[in-house]
Structure 1
Amino acid sequence: MAPQNSAFSNILFSIVLIFILCYNSYCCRGGTTTTSLDLHPTNEKPSDSNNEQGEILRFGGINNGHTKVSAKRMMSVADFGAKGDGKTDDSKAFLKAWKKACSSKNAVDLVIPKKKNYRLKPATFKGPCKSNITVKIDGAIEASADRSDYKRDVRHWIIFKKIQNLVVEGDGTIDGNGNIWWKNSCKINKSLPCTHAPTCFNDDEQALTFKECNNLTVENITIKDAQQMHLSFQKCLNVEARNLVVTAPEKSPNTDGIHVTGTQNIKIINSVIGTGDDCISIVSGSRNVQATNTTCGPGHGISIGSLGTGNSEAHVSDVMVDTAILNGTTNGVRIKTWQGGSGNANNMSFQNIVMYNVKNPIIIDQNYCDQDDPCDEQKSAVQITDITYKNITGTSASEVAVYFDCSKNYPCQHIVLQDINLVRDEDGKTAKASCKNVKLTQVGKVSPGCSRDLKEWFLKSTEEEEEKEEDIGHDQVVYYTDH
Structure 2
Amino acid sequence: MFGLMVDEGIGFDEVSNFYSEVGGFEASLRIREMGNMLNDNFNILEELENLDIDEEDVEPFEIPSWTSERGGKVLVNVDSFGAVGDGVSDDTEAFRKAWDTACSTPKSVFLVPPGRSYLVNATKFKGPCADRLVVQIDGTIVAPAEPENWDPNLPRLWLDFSKLQGVAFQGNGVIDGSGRKWWASSCKKNKTNALTIESSSSIKVKGLTIQNSQQMNFVISKSDSVRIYGVQVSCPGDSPNTDGIHITGSTNVVLQDCKIGTGDDCVSIVNGSSAIKMKRIYCGPGHGVSIGSLGKDNSTAIVTKVVLDTAFLRETTNGVRIKTWQGGSGYVRGVRFENVRMEDVANPIIIDQFYCDSPKACQNQTSAVQISQIMYRNISGTTKSKEAMKFACSDTVPCSNIVLSNVNLERKDGTTAETYCNSAQGFNYGVVHPSADCLSSHDKAPILINQVESAEHIEPSKDHIVHTEL
Q: Of the candidates 427, 434, 442, which is equivalent to residue 448 of structure 1?
A: 434
TM-score of the two chains, using structure 2 as the length reference: 0.78
What letter matches 1:331 in structure 2?
N
Q: Of the candidates 337, 355, 371, which is equivalent to residue 342 of structure 2?
A: 355
Flag the 1:400–1:75 CA change in 2: closer, same or farther, 3 A.
same
Q: Write the distance in 2 (CA, Å) between the matches of 1:251 and 1:150.
A: 26
Secondary structure of residue in 2 paired with 1:150: coil
Matches within 5 A, 1:56-71: 56=69, 71=72
Secondary structure of residue in 2 paired with 1:97: helix
TM-score of the two chains, using structure 1 as the length reference: 0.76
Matches within 5 A, 1:19-418: 56=69, 71-104=72-105, 106-147=106-147, 148-186=149-187, 196-198=189-191, 205-418=192-405
Report what 2:15 is aligned to: none
Q: Write the distance in 1 (CA, Å) between the matches of 2:365 and 2:146.
A: 43
Say if 1:402 and 1:449, in contact at 8 Å, map to a contact too. no
What letter matches 1:115 in structure 2?
G
1:429 aligns with 2:376: no
Q: Deviations over 1:417-458 (max 9, x none)?
A: 1100000001x2221000110111111110012225x9xx89
Tell me how far 1:101 sits from its aligned partner: 0.7
What letter matches 1:283 in structure 2?
V
Q: Write the distance in 1 (CA, Å) between the matches of 2:431 and 2:165.
A: 47
Flag the 1:394–1:57 CA change in 2: closer, same or farther, 3 A.
closer
What letter matches 1:125 in structure 2?
F
Say if 1:175 and 1:225, in contact at 8 Å, map to a contact too. yes
Say if 1:442 and 1:449, in contact at 8 Å, map to a contact too. no
Q: Deviations over 1:127-165 (max 9, x none)?
A: 001222101100100001232223111111000000111
What letter matches 2:270 in structure 1?
V
Secondary structure of residue in 1 paired with 2:150: helix
Q: Deviations over 1:86-120 (max 9, x none)?
A: 1001010000000001111x211111011000001
Secondary structure of residue in 2 paired with 1:364: strand
Say if 2:76 and 2:101, in contact at 8 Å, map to a contact too. no
Tell me how far 1:197 sits from its aligned partner: 2.1
Tell me how far 1:56 sits from its aligned partner: 2.6
Report what 1:19 is aligned to: none
Tell me how far 1:184 sits from its aligned partner: 2.0
Flag the 1:175–1:458 CA change in 2: closer, same or farther, 3 A.
closer
Q: Write the distance in 1 (CA, Å) between the matches of 2:141 and 2:167.
A: 18
Say if 1:253 and 1:277, in contact at 8 Å, map to a contact too. yes
Q: Write the distance in 2 (CA, Å) between the matches of 1:149 and 1:333.
A: 35
Secondary structure of residue in 2 paired with 1:216: strand
Say if 1:163 and 1:212, in contact at 8 Å, map to a contact too. yes
Say if 2:165 and 2:201, in contact at 8 Å, map to a contact too. yes
What letter matches 1:373 in structure 2?
K
Say if 2:81 and 2:95, in contact at 8 Å, map to a contact too. yes
Q: RMSD in angstroms over aligned alpha carbons? A: 2.2
What letter matches 1:448 in structure 2?
P
Tell me how far 1:238 sits from its aligned partner: 0.3
Say if 2:427 and 2:441, in contact at 8 Å, map to a contact too. no
Q: Deviations over 1:155-197 (max 9, x none)?
A: 11000000111111000100000002111224xxxxxxx6x22
Secondary structure of residue in 1 paired with 2:415: coil
Say if 1:54 and 1:75, in contact at 8 Å, map to a contact too. no
Secondary structure of residue in 2 paired with 1:75: strand
Q: Write the distance in 2 (CA, Å) between the matches of 1:280 and 1:380.
A: 26
**Structure number, greater radius of gyration:** 1
Count of residue correspondences: 383
Report 1 or 2 for greater relative contact order, CA contacts < 8 Å, sequence distance ≥ 6: 2
Say if 2:425 and 2:441, in contact at 8 Å, map to a contact too. no
Q: Deviations over 1:190-230 (max 9, x none)?
A: xxxx6x223xxxxxx31100001110001101000000100
Q: Write the distance in 2 (CA, Å) between the matches of 1:97 and 1:211.
A: 20
| Divergent runs of 4+, >4 A | none
Flag the 1:278–1:458 CA change in 2: closer, same or farther, 3 A.
closer
Q: Write the distance in 1 (CA, Å) between the matches of 2:86 and 2:145.
A: 14
Secondary structure of residue in 1 paired with 2:97: helix
Tell me how far 1:57 sits from its aligned partner: 6.9
Say if 1:280 and 1:302, in contact at 8 Å, map to a contact too. yes
Q: Write the distance in 2 (CA, Å) between the matches of 1:98 and 1:157.
A: 15
Tell me how far 1:265 sits from its aligned partner: 0.3
Q: Write the distance in 1 (CA, Å) between the matches of 2:256 and 2:70.
A: 34
